[in-house]
Amino acid sequence: MILAYISDKTRHRFAYAVFAVCIAIAGFAILLSVHHNRPLEYAALFLVAMGCYSAMPIIVCWFNMNLGGHHRRSVGSAWQVAFGNIGGIIAVYCFLKQDAPLYTKGYSICIAFTCLSVVSCIAYYIACIAQNRQREKTATDVGLTEYEKTELGDLNPEYRYLV
């Protein structure tokens, strides 16, 4: 809640999302490398939960705030949530009984996907910055009415993406 509140107040999502994902990566790294220290393993589970459950709403909000218009926003959020729920299917095949109690393959896959999340956030951040810079360079009045600008949403040349 604190990260979500601060990211909303600062109108910045990238750094807070990456920070939260890095906390999750630290938790998964502990779970992957520590096997005989139950209190530390338990604390690592808290890091994983804190990181994942802090990053997810920030990333969902970040993506949705950059989609202008209710049609684009509804379709975009549906795709994002559907793609994110694939993790539930993958998890079933990652943490197998024969890998117990270390679950090296499962934790490695989790680290890989959280690293993919960081890479995706970086790529999205760079794309938003590049698009905003391009729109600044070509900022001219194209003669659109306010209604047309609203209907174009994020395709409006005057629209600026939230980073």
Q: Which residues contact 111 (CB under 8 A, 6 or more apart)?
A: 25, 28, 29, 32
pLDDT 10s digits, 138-160: 866 667 888 887 778 888 888 89
pLDDT at 156: 84
1-5, 13-17, 115-119, 139-143: lowest mean pLDDT where?
Answer: 139-143
143 in the Ramachandran plot: left (φ > 0), alpha (ψ -120 to 50) or beta?
left
Burial 74-96 (b: 16+ CB within 10 A, else e): eebeeeeeeeeeeeeeeeeebee
Of 3, 51, 15, 4, nearest in space to 124 by CA: 15
Contact call for residues 24 and 124 (beta carbons, < 8 A):
no
pLDDT score, position 72: 86
pLDDT digits (tens, 9 = 90+) for 60-95: 999 999 998 788 889 999 999 898 889 889 989 999
For residues 13 and 103, the answer to whether their CB atoms sit within 8 Å is no
- Please choose, from the candidates 74, 75, 23, the residue with its C-alpha nearest in 3D space to the C-alpha of residue 44: 23
> Lowest mean pLDDT: which of 4-18, 33-47, 69-83, 143-157?
143-157
- Provide, rounded to the nearest whole percent, the portion of the chain with pLDDT above 70: 98
- Residue 47 has a pLDDT of 98
